[in-house]
Chain A
């Protein structure tokens, strides 16, 4: 979805380096997410944020940190990259819509960042 952009799209780095992946959205959503995907597997949640003051760990947060600089921007950092962090990384935003007294959620994903750690 063009409303969610990720930079860079591809990155090669070396073990021990600190790198940052950036995500921007123009959808006006408060909620943003970072996932990683390994070959042949589904997506796993790293971190998520409900708004600029709220950051939450996901299933696999070890070795990662995030920063929510503004409603539209959510960055993922690898403090000291290691080879098993080689993966495809996706950012997503979500929209809640009211339905029958509750809400249902739709997530919108960016195009992904392919990261290789040597």
Chain B
């Protein structure tokens, strides 16, 4: 799986959009970009994933650059409950085969300020 680089921490005001960047310059053509988050000492929670198109779900939007070397997770209206560590993970998709675990780096600690 390709390596990712994220800022260590970020602040965002409550009610504003939180934009979390991730660099993955060595991503290969069959690797997806996944985002998970971990609220203090809880189990990580899946947020969103994408291959090359921008994606949106009820939690967030994912913007992937055309060259796929970086992406941005957007939380459109951040709340205090969004304070968490956010992990960007690049991972190959499998065609009917097995899968090993996710590779978590240190992530970005997002702090939502009231």
The chain A residues found within 8 Å of chain B, CB to CB, are: 1, 4, 31, 33, 35, 40-45, 48, 50, 54, 56, 58-59, 88, 90, 92, 94, 96, 99, 101-112, 114
Contact = CB atoms under 8 A, between A and B. Distances in A.
Interface of B: 30, 32, 36, 41-46, 49, 87, 91, 93-96, 98-107
Contact of B100 (A1, A4, A45, A110): A45
Which residue, of A43, A45, A88, A114, has the highest number of chain B Cβ atoms within 10 A? A43
A42 B44 CA distance: 10
Chain A interface helix/strand/loop/mixed:
strand
B42 to A, nearest CB: 6
A3 B46 CA distance: 14
Contact of B101 (A48, A104, A108, A111): A48
B87 A42 contact: yes
Given A42-B106, A50-B98, A94-B99, A111 B87 contact: no
